Amino acid sequence: MSTINCRGKILDLTTPQIMGILNITADSFYNGYLNDSMELILMQVENMITEGARIIDIGGQSTKPGSLPVEANEELDRVMPVIESVHAHFPDVIFSIDTFHSKVADWALSKGVSMVNDISAGNIDESMIYTVAQWKVPYVCMHMQGNPETMQLAPNYTNVTKDILDFFVSKINDCRNAGIVDIIIDPGFGFGKTIDHNFQILHDLSIFGELDVPILAGLSRKGMIYKTLNCTADDALNGTSVANTIALMNGAHILRVHDVKAAKEAIQLFNAYKKAASN
């Protein structure tokens, strides 16, 4: 679990790493990082890399609550030129494709992308797990109750932590049986969960360490933060840093964020704290 192999690029997870978010869609809950030109996109990617992101996660589909999915071909139209351009400019960077369409994942992987981030963990497109297995790349399995269009209407669990843990036990088994070696789990903050559910998961995050796979935390500027603070997503950076720090304290290996510099500082302080605690 200490490393994952991203098509020959070895990512060391003994210290937490950062996944920077690159949204290629006009429909996002947080607009701070949306760009409308390739030049600005390349500048954004370069900035995230400079600030400390080891992975850049490219997505052409909005998955905010209430959003409607777009078909694979439309998603491809959005991400194809971006993936080709960023990979050409930054060939040594680990790029991830944020998609639940196996067709999109397959094309992206053929163009140099080396990780798949699937909010549905293969539940929307049953071919996804087998596509990832064929390419032998890391797979981020996220838990989501329902789908983006309906997931926040009435989230319901018997025990949110246990239910998600049981989901991952089954999903990891499916991935292993298909031949996926590097599996990363994401409990899916904000995806079919109430604010209380989200904070319970954050509190219990260390429990998911029992699964012996890396944990990704995607808390950046989400509703659980800005609604609790009675502010907007634009004003939720400080709250995000606090939530990310709690996630690190509870075992997160990867932070998926809009704001790389702040996440890097949280990791630096966390590492200093761990070093002191071990002395």
Annotated catalytic residues are 222, 256
**Inter-CA distances, 244 with 144, 205, 255, 260, Å:** 20, 12, 7, 12
* 187 within 8 A of 219, measured Cβ to Cβ: no
* 237 within 8 A of 259, measured Cβ to Cβ: yes
Residue count of the chain, please give it: 279
Taking only Cα atoms into account, the Rg of the chain, rounded to an integer number of angstroms, comes to: 17
3-class state of residue 12 by DSSP: strand
Question: What is d(CA 143, CA 19) in angstroms, rounded to the nearest whole number?
Answer: 18
Question: What is d(CA 78, CA 244) in angstroms, rounded to the nearest whole number?
Answer: 30
Residue bearing tokens 């030049």 = 39
Print the SS3 string covering 94-110. Answer: EEEEECCCHHHHHHHHH
